[in-house]
Amino acid sequence: MNIGEKIAEFAKGGSTGKYLITSDIPAICKSEPCMIGIDEAGRGPVLGPMVYGCAYCPISKLEDLKSLKCADSKTLSLDQREKLLTLINENADFIGWEVEILSPSFISQNMFRRAKYNLNWMSHDAAIALISRAREAGVNVTQVFVDTVGPPEKYQVR
């Protein structure tokens, strides 16, 4: 099952929590210094889940990454994004990735708690969790790039 099918299965299943989808970790990502990039899609329970994703690769493979024409997803068409996902998966020897999906129910339940947990905090925590899980799995993360929600300084502090 590909990532799109997994996400569709998650959405159809009416999940009320978080859902993780991960690639295998390339061996080179454990032995060489790596960069990791994080972005999100979706911003609220009315329209659907919030999806946070990261991709990582060795800094030494930056030119290879550029040759794939990786870019901010907001600058790419749906067709370009789908082709890029195929290319990323075809280069699994040096690119790894993870996606965390926060269901609309999870978002709503947290926003209605007595101790509020807003979308910005969820965004910060999702980004931190992606980095933490990659590091705990052995990825040698030395550079982090985050397409932030709100001021970048708040991410740096956390």
Average pLDDT, whole number, for the chain?
A: 85
Query: Domains along the chain?
Result: 26-69+78-157 (3.30.420.10)
- Whether residue 152 is predicted with pLDDT greater than 90 in this model: the reply is no
CB 56 within 8 A of CB 33: no
DSSP notation for the chain:
--HHHHHHHHHHTT--SEEEEEPPPPTHHHHS-EEEEEEEE---TTT--EEEEEEEEEGGGHHHHHHTT---GGGS-HHHHHHHHHHHHHTTTT-EEEEEEE-HHHHHHHHTSSS---HHHHHHHHHHHHHHHHHHTT--EEEEEE--SS-HHHHHH-
Binding-site positions read 39-40, 147
Can you give the pLDDT at residue 7? 64
Give me the phi and psi of 114, to 5 degrees please: -60, -50
Give me the phi and psi of 105, to 5 degrees please: -65, -40
- Express each pLDDT in 87-142 by its tens digit: 999 999 999 999 998 888 888 888 787 787 888 888 889 999 999 999 999 999 99
Binding-site positions for a divalent metal cation read 39-40, 147
